[in-house]
Chains A and B, each alone.
Chain A
Amino acid sequence: MPASADATAIGISADPSPTLMARIRDVGRLLNRAFPIIIVAVLILMIGLVAGRSGGTTAAAEVREGLTIGAVYALIAVGYTMVYGIIELINFAHGDVFTLSAFYAIFIAEFQPFGFNLNSLATSGPLGFFGALAILMPLTMIAAGLTGMLIERVAYRRLRTAPRLAPLITAVGVSFIIEGFLFATQGSTNVRTGKAGWLPGNAFTAGGVVVSWHDIFVFFSALVLMFLLQAFVRLTRLGKAMRATAQDRDAALLNGVNINRTISATFFIGSALAAAGGIIYSVKDDLVVWNLGFRFGIIAFTCAVLGGIGNIVGAGVGAFLIGLIQVFGGQLIGSAWDNAIIFAMLIIVLVVRPVGLLGMRVADRA
């Protein structure tokens, strides 16, 4: 592709008349440009179809559902996009770090040194909930962040200059190790996180759509965390180092950026956000299972690709879009096709607009 594209660009194409291939390429370019509009249009169409078929209330409830699941995806997708941005590796193990941290959170919340634990604190009232969250969130995020750093140190760092395939394969291996560990220690069935009662009650009912407190919590905590992350990457020294490393590792090194530390920090932050995702998912759905992260990981990666890999805001936008598409697609075709819809989406994005909605990277390197 690069060769032919360059050839047309500098006008040495042998055949000046528009061939079939050239027409296809033109259509492709058009689709590429119009892609953001197309995807929003398709989404609106889907919402309209659902509203027409099952009523506006159902559609609105599905929007709520899509946004909350999208919030979880967003927090995972950020980790993918940051790691990919900085070392161009699809960190397969990232989805499993999400699951692992949900189990960390179970462990921490059930730890009972002084006759009470975080679960009992959280259910004691709104103040208790925030208190429990203020303890649980940092602890789990640090644990997950350290796990992420460990994974990078053990499995990826040595392969940083190796052929691209090598770290990708170790990533798959690490993913299997984490899943295997959870499978061996936690069993093959769903595990209750015990956080179902953390945030009971409904906040409000608008037009027949019930919005519960944990919907609000899930959605807004994801937004807040994303904004904090964006601010961190934009405003701090370490964030600047990350951006520099992502742009040009060698140049960053020459300018005094400690590459290893920056990459470690990236893994720490990505994994910590996945841990936040794990906690809000636990509050939202209460059930986790050893291989949950596999599916969530791929979906989150799809979100990152849709938004434009390497782009934090893009990951958030992509995640909410994918959440909505998944929910409405499931409504229209049947929820058994959830996965197929999302992966088809991924393939379409990669074919039509590999750079994603907000991405600017050129995705044609081998």
Chain B
Amino acid sequence: MPEPTGDGLAVTDTAAPATEDPRADDDLAPPDELPVTASEAAREESSGGFTALVIAGLVFIVAGWLLPWFVEQTSNGIGYSAQDAVSSPPTGIGTIVVYLIAVAMVGLVAFALYDLVRGIAHRGRPLRWWRGRAALAILGAVGTLVVWLLIGVLREEPLFGNISSLAATDNAVWMTLTGFVVLALAYGLRPWVVTHGEVAFGGVVFMIGALMPFIFNQSSSFIEWGASAAAIYTLLALGLNIVVGFAGLLDLGYAAFFAIGAYTCGSLASPVHGLHFPFWIVIFIGLAVAALFGAVLGAPTLRLRGDYLAIVTLGFGEIIPDAANNNLFNATGGPEGITGIDHPSIFGFNFGIDAKFYFWSLLIIIAIVLVLLRNIQRSRLGRAWAAIREDEVAAAATGVNPVTTKLLAFSIGASISGLAGAFFGAELGSVTPDSFQFAVSVTVLSTVVLGGLGNNTGVAAGGILVSFIIFWMLDHLQEWMGTFGLKFGLPALGTIDYSRWVYIVYGAILVGIMLLRPAGLLPSRARKSELQAGGQTEALAVVQGRV
């Protein structure tokens, strides 16, 4: 977009291709000084989707490669005999084949990496020499499979069978394979990916997400609780993003609505009050009740300036767990909370305590929410939110009703939190007040800030990242560091209580991101241009409907 940023870089960027092969430019904007059009904007946005796909693929490949080594380093070598297959290479006729394919794979990854770096260096503009990469990527995918099969065969160990001894290798294969499939998709369907980046990236994320229980079929503890908890956090982050990112209202008590949803679910589908509503109705009731509370809290306070709102929501976020803890109206069960909540069932099939089914349902819900949010953001209401966020007085002067608009943001955000809460209650089977402390609100907020205020894709990515850190890394950090410490002669590493440092990490994330990348890791276009050009482009973007 040469016009709005106008920082010279874009101009040199568009001037260069003319000297190169012009035919290859078919997926590029015409290299002239046209004013910004919606299609060009969409294209530029989408090349980000392509970059993201390539990054995702590379991360999966490299993580898959490193996983056996990592497991070896951290697990004391118990129960992971298969990683020996990596450290002691196979012998005989297969060796050459294995190494050839391995070299090809490394070369391919290096290639994609170079492509990526070049793409980023060129400010995300699509490159012109992508053709033929798809074939290589597919080859890589097949190659991975072959290598691992060969390793398995040569070691006379079944690759996908003997679960207990092959855990790490099996996960590694699936991860690497997934990475190559993603790369193959990205390069193979590049023209389509470039114009439909968001959809493509979303599709791939959901594909990987849905396959998670199979990719990590060995690390059951992660998938059992981690993945569905991650999905709930992602849902919460998406909801909070409406309030903080879209409408610019700081909500520091978001966990309150989460609690309201969970307690609604607990009251309507448990033996406590003898009510047993079907779960799929309960989540909508939870949603509606949370939205109602959002409106009730918001109606009187949204007239105030933004940071007062932050304090009011903070107070509300403290009152709700307190009220639950004090057994308000004898309905919340006090500190013990509500137990025995019904698990959901669909067509007579009960989800029980198998986290997989909750995870898949949540994935579907997140997909629906994402599509809805995308549409809302581009609707009249979404633009009104942007206008309010940027300048409330100006927005009011041009006919946006600030109170209604803010109230809607607040209510819609709360309703998503309520929905997540209902799910949370049904999955755990119990709700207690201490699940909804201030730390939850701050975690969700740091997720939103980290991912990129106002950008759904970024926030969803932030949700995945933060929950990965919380539910998986922190769980294992103690054990990992202990083993690392023993291996490298630093036993002191294992004696540190890492759970104690969580708060500092959250705080540092909030401060660091705000200072270094105020718009988050994946900033929304509006925020990015706002920071580059002091807000004028934002207005332009809103007017042109690009936000």
List, in ascending order, chain A residues with CB within 8 A of B244's CB: 165
CB-CB nearest in chain A for B248? A165
In Å, the complex CA distance between A365 and B306 comes to 8
List, in ascending order, chain B residues with CB within 8 A of A180's CB: 500-507
Instruction: Verify B503–A165 contact, CB threshold 8 A.
Output: no
Using C-beta atoms within 8 Å of the partner chain, give the interface range for chain A.
Answer: 35 or more
Q: What DSSP secondary structure best describes chain A's contact surface?
A: helix
Instruction: Verify A174–B507 contact, CB threshold 8 A.
Output: yes
Identify which of residues 393-425 in chain B touch chain A, using a CB-to-CB cut-off of 8 Å: 393, 396-397, 402-403
Instruction: Verify B318–A173 contact, CB threshold 8 A.
Output: no
Q: Which of B509, B515, B518 contacts A155 (CB 8 A)?
A: B515
Chain A window 1-29, contacts with chain B (Cβ cutoff 8 Å), 1 for yes, 0 for no: 11100000000000000000000000000
In Å, the complex CA distance between A105 and B38 comes to 61
Chain B window 379-397, contacts with chain A (Cβ cutoff 8 Å), 1 for yes, 0 for no: 0000000001001110011
Instruction: Verify B500–A1 contact, CB threshold 8 A.
Output: no
Confirm or deny: A346 has a beta carbon within 8 angstroms of a beta carbon on chain B: yes
Instruction: Verify A350–B449 contact, CB threshold 8 A.
Output: no
Confirm or deny: B511 has a beta carbon within 8 angstroms of a beta carbon on chain A: yes
Chain A window 268-293, contacts with chain B (Cβ cutoff 8 Å), 1 for yes, 0 for no: 00000000000000000000000000
Instruction: Verify B315–A343 contact, CB threshold 8 A.
Output: yes
Chain A window 350-366, contacts with chain B (Cβ cutoff 8 Å), 1 for yes, 0 for no: 11001000000001111
List, in ascending order, chain A residues with CB within 8 A of B503's CB: 176-177, 179-180, 183-184
Given the interface pairs A3-B396, A165-B244, the reply to whether A172 lies near B504 with Cβ below 8 Å is: no
Given the interface pairs A173-B511, A350-B308, A366-B392, the reply to whether A344 lies near B506 with Cβ below 8 Å is: no
In Å, the complex CA distance between A328 and B393 comes to 41
Q: Which of B248, B318, B326 contacts A336 (CB 8 A)?
A: B326
Stretch of A59-67, A129-137, A156-164 lying at the B interface: A156-164
Confirm or deny: B305 has a beta carbon within 8 angstroms of a beta carbon on chain A: yes
Instruction: Verify B509–A173 contact, CB threshold 8 A.
Output: yes
Given the interface pairs A181-B504, A337-B326, the reply to whether A90 lies near B307 with Cβ below 8 Å is: yes
List, in ascending order, chain A residues with CB within 8 A of B325's CB: 336
Chain A window 161-200, contacts with chain B (Cβ cutoff 8 Å), 1 for yes, 0 for no: 0111111111011111111110110000000000000000
In Å, the complex CA distance between A163 and B454 comes to 14
Identify which of residues 251-274 in chain B touch chain A, using a CB-to-CB cut-off of 8 Å: 252
**Nearest-CB distance from A237 to chain B (Å)?**
30
Confirm or deny: A301 has a beta carbon within 8 angstroms of a beta carbon on chain B: yes
Most buried by B among A90, A178, A302, A350: A350
Given the interface pairs A3-B396, A170-B514, A298-B311, the reply to whether A339 lies near B318 with Cβ below 8 Å is: yes
Given the interface pairs A168-B250, A177-B508, A180-B507, the reply to whether A346 lies near B315 with Cβ below 8 Å is: yes
Q: Give the interface of A toward B (CB within 8 A).
A: 1-3, 88-90, 154-155, 158-159, 162-170, 172-181, 183-184, 294, 298, 301-302, 305, 334, 336-337, 339-340, 342-344, 346-347, 350-351, 354, 363-366
Q: Give the interface of B toward A (CB within 8 A).
A: 244, 248, 250, 252, 297, 300-301, 303-308, 310-312, 314-316, 318-319, 322-323, 325-326, 388, 391-393, 396-397, 402-403, 438, 442, 445-446, 449, 453, 497, 500-512, 514-515, 518
Q: List 10 A-B contacts (CB under 8 A).
A: A177-B507, A183-B500, A184-B497, A294-B438, A305-B308, A334-B326, A339-B318, A346-B312, A364-B305, A366-B388
